[in-house]
Amino acid sequence: MADFEVLAGIHQGLFLVLLIVMLLPTIMANQLVFRPTKRAFISSARITLCFLWSALFVFGGHLVMTWVLFESFGWLYIKDKLLGFLPFIFVPLLCCLLSTFPRLWELAGKGSKDSRQSQVDTEYTRILLQEKNVRPAKANSPDRDDALDAEWRGDASCPELLVPLQASVLGCLIALFLQVFFPAVTLEPSILFLAWGVLLAGVSLLWIRQSWKHQYHSTAENWVKPRRLLRFIRFAAFLLMTAFIATIWGNQAMIASRLPDQPPLEGQNQDDHALPDFAFPVKASAHSMPSTGKLRSVDAPTELKQGNPDRTFSLNAQKTTIHQASGKTVEAWTLNGQYPGPELRIKQGELVEITLLNKDISEGIDIHWHGMQTPASYNRLAKGEKSVYRFRAEQTGTYWYHSHQQIPEQVVNGLFGALVIEPAEATTTGAAIRDIAMIHHKDEKAGATLNGSHTRKIETIAPGTTVRLRFINAENAPVTYLLQGTPFQVVAIDGTEVNEPNLIANQALQPGAGGRYDIQFTMPNRPVLFAPAANQQDKGLLLSPDGSEDAVPFLDAEVSVFDPARYGSPIALPFDLSSHFDREYQLLIDGQYGFYDGQFKRLSTVNGDLLPETPLMIEEGDLIKLTFVNRSFQNQSMYLHGHHMLILSRDGKKVTGSPWWTDTLQVAPGETYEVAFRANNPGASMEGNLPKGETAFGIAIPLVYEE
């Protein structure tokens, strides 16, 4: 498949190129009336005609690139371009072809016959003057017959010639503005109508202004060319007025974008989101939104509030100075003085009780069990407060926990840890099993770390031992790791076991933000290295049969990335692409610029919206189908709030391997995924309850159940 980022980048860049190319003939056409002679007039008209041809050629290339995008990626990737942006350029250019081009062609050849006769007369006059010893006029003094008269100035200033060119420039500006600030403009009809209103109003004003100028240039007896200083002052005044209006608009947009103070978190849905680079809330398509619907919250079942827990944990959050093995010092926010927090390992079916105490973190904390479908139970804990969390571990697999307050800051500082739920009945194979949970995390000072260490760790494991590495990505972006030294299997993805996993080698693992991969292999009689890609052999985890660091495997950066869509063996599915879905939502992911919480930044949007806009409305028991379309220029890690989704297809091709169940899906630029899930975990709406940090950096799909 063609490179989406290259094609889409060229397509977007052509909007700017076309604006520049259209400015040239427009400026030159406006200057025709000020040409000193007819010869200069005709020459400028011909050059203007060439520039107009160039603009038409660039627009033709724009249409070709649109077709290439359509052929490579489909209708959804060009819908807003073809229906939203390009018409603002096409309509004025069509007017240029019908009105400006024939007039400019006529002006370029205007007076050609008269010019030839004038040249003969001028030569004859020169000979007569020489015979009479009369000195001819200076070369830089235009012949009176060659000077522009009112008729020529009238032809050069008529609205039919100039306004279509000016409208084309205005249309290019509007199209470029919409591309940058409203990439999903077809889903925002009010913005689209407003843009067309601006174009029509602008063209009307330009026509009135040019009609007045045409009357002046074609009828004034004592016509005088305006001084350059006066024309510069007019242009500067126009720019100042435009800047003033833009400043007022920007200030109002900045004020309107400010988020309210962080509200209490009681009743918020339990399952949160991964941690991406940009604001990334989700909204359902307007055509599929129910007209009404009451929201409800779900309290914890009575049996969770009573009875003796099978396993208890205490987590004390406090600020601590951590001394790294390399000698570096990190000011961290820790749980039980550990960075990251302690690993919580429990058995399926156990009733778990966890006590969280906030010792000295004034910003407030709470805790979230990432990827688990537990009841809603959020209470922000102020400094000195504590709370008790109880849930039954119904699922198995690899998960993690983190603070749910000001997520980007608190997770980066260390309020997170691994959560492993083992099967109630362990599988007995007779072979020893070494189970290791590894959390990748990026600290602002120490950089990338694995289990809190930014240097390589060594574990001694006897050959023949079955090793299971539970890899957790706690960074706010996809990461790439390699396992070198032995073949391996990917036995679980986001807590769900893979059916009949293949034995693979030399494939990079790239989980999305918050994603988890469980890999398993038999320890060979040589070292095995698990480390970040790009030849970072001084980081990661080295497994050695004798504890030595000899013969460390070399990390090959030129390897393919593991593809879950083609891995493992298929089995019967509860639903697939042929199933009847109760509701279907199409989520268009775009990158745009705008104000958010008082700051101008690049934002990621879904269907043109940001949190806290309308969330995804569903009803308990519904079978929901979502289509993710990533039209932005960055990887997006989609985290389904409180549910696991089944990946049905990628880029129109059905998933052929083991059923791919996940709660975190990485969608690359230009990729389209169809996923489905059963609405079986009712919870409260996130709308109006999201803390500021989460809103600014969250990539969640808030699901709101109707009552």
Q: Is residue 199 part of a domain?
A: yes
Task: Give CA–CA dist 119/313, Å, rounded.
Answer: 102
Tracing tokens 């409260």 back to the chain, one arrives at 684
Task: Give CA–CA dist 344/631, Å, rounded.
Answer: 39
Q: pLDDT confidence of 298, banded at 50, 70, 90?
A: very low
Residues 8 and 25 in one domain: yes
Among 546, 548, 506, which residue's Cα sits nearest to residue 525?
546
244-270: string of b/e by CB count within 10 Å (b at 16+)?
Answer: eeeeeeeeeebeebebeebeebebbbb
Residues 234 and 150 in one domain: no
Q: Is residue 505 part of a domain?
A: no
Q: pLDDT confidence of 2, banded at 50, 70, 90?
A: low
Task: Give CA–CA dist 527/546, Å, rounded.
Answer: 9
To the nearest 10 degrees (0 to 180), the angle between helices 189-219 and 87-95 is 20
Specify the pLDDT at position 286: 29
Q: Is residue 128 part of a domain?
A: yes
The listed range with the strongest mean pLDDT (109-118, 230-239, 514-523) is: 514-523
Region 322-349 average pLDDT: 84
Q: What are phi and psi of 39, to 5 degrees?
A: -60, -45
Q: Is residue 453 part of a domain?
A: no
Kindly tell me if the per-residue pLDDT of 540 is higher than 50: yes
Specify the pLDDT at position 123: 56
Residues 230 and 212 in one domain: no
Q: Is residue 611 part of a domain?
A: yes
Q: Which of 2-16, 233-247, 455-469, 608-622 has the lowest mean pLDDT?
A: 608-622
Residue 26: how many other CB atoms lie within 10 Å? 24
Residues 50 and 163 in one domain: yes
Specify the pLDDT at position 583: 94
With contact defined as beta carbons under 8 Å apart, do 285 and 607 qualify? yes
Structurally, the chain folds into a number of domains equal to 3
Region 342-352 average pLDDT: 93
Residues 598 and 692 in one domain: yes
Phi/psi zone of residue 589: left (φ > 0), alpha (ψ -120 to 50 degrees), beta?
beta
Specify the pLDDT at position 295: 35
The pairing of beta strand 397-402 with beta strand 416-422: antiparallel
Kindly tell me if the per-residue pLDDT of 432 is higher than 80: no
Q: pLDDT confidence of 424, banded at 50, 70, 90?
A: confident
Beta strands in 379-453 (DSSP E): 386-392, 397-402, 416-422, 433-443, 447-450
Q: What is the pLDDT of residues 131-158, one digit of tens each?
A: 555 555 444 445 556 676 788 888 889 9
Specify the pLDDT at position 238: 80
Question: What DSSP line would sit under 416-428, residue for residue?
Answer: EEEEEEE-SS---
Mean pLDDT for all residues in the chain:
81
Residues 246 and 185 in one domain: no
Specify the pLDDT at position 11: 94
Of 205, 240, 256, the one marking the end of a domain is 256
Specify the pLDDT at position 108: 85
Kindly tell me if the per-residue pLDDT of 228 is higher than 70: yes
Q: What is the pLDDT of residues 175-191, one digit of tens each?
A: 999 999 999 999 999 99
Residues 178 and 232 in one domain: no
Specify the pLDDT at position 647: 96
Specify the pLDDT at position 598: 82
Stronger pLDDT, 292 or 182, i.e. the higher one:
182
Stronger pLDDT, 698 or 315, i.e. the higher one:
315
Among 588, 521, 563, which residue's Cα sits nearest to residue 656?
563
Kindly tell me if the per-residue pLDDT of 199 is higher than 90: yes
Residues 69 and 199 in one domain: yes
Q: Is residue 554 part of a domain?
A: no
Kindly tell me if the per-residue pLDDT of 451 is higher than 80: yes
Region 270-296 average pLDDT: 32
Specify the pLDDT at position 700: 59
Q: Is residue 664 part of a domain?
A: yes
Residues 199 and 230 in one domain: no
Specify the pLDDT at position 220: 64
Residues 131 and 83 in one domain: yes
Residues 136 and 185 in one domain: yes
DSSP 8-class letter at 153:
H
Q: What is the pLDDT of residues 239-259, one digit of tens each?
A: 888 888 888 888 888 887 776
Question: What DSSP line would sit under 528-576, residue for residue?
Answer: EEEEETTT-TTSSEEEESSS--TTPPPP-SS-EEP-GGGSS-----S--
Please list, in sequence order, all residues whose beta carbon lies within 8 angstroms of the beta carbon of residue 441, skipping any fewer than 6 positions away.
Answer: 340, 411, 412, 416, 448, 449, 450, 452, 474, 475
Domain housing 236: 226-256
Q: What are phi and psi of 144, to 5 degrees?
A: -60, -35
Q: Which of 207-221, 440-454, 674-688 has the lowest mean pLDDT?
A: 674-688
Kindly tell me if the per-residue pLDDT of 625 is higher than 80: yes
Radius of gyration of the chain (CA): 34
489: helix, strand or coil: strand
Q: How many helical (H) and strand (E) elements, i.e. helices and strands, does the chain have?
A: 13, 32
Residues 171 and 36 in one domain: yes
Q: pLDDT confidence of 296, banded at 50, 70, 90?
A: very low
Question: What DSSP line would sit under 99-139, residue for residue?
Answer: IIHHHHHHHHTTTHHHHHHHHHHHHHHHHHHHHTTPPPPPT
DSSP 8-class letter at 33:
G
Kindly tell me if the per-residue pLDDT of 522 is higher than 60: yes
Region 68-78 average pLDDT: 94
Kindly tell me if the per-residue pLDDT of 285 is higher than 60: no
Q: Is residue 468 part of a domain?
A: no
Q: What percent of the chain has pLDDT over 70?
A: 79
Run of H or E including 24: helix 4-31
The pairing of beta strand 516-522 with beta strand 466-473: antiparallel
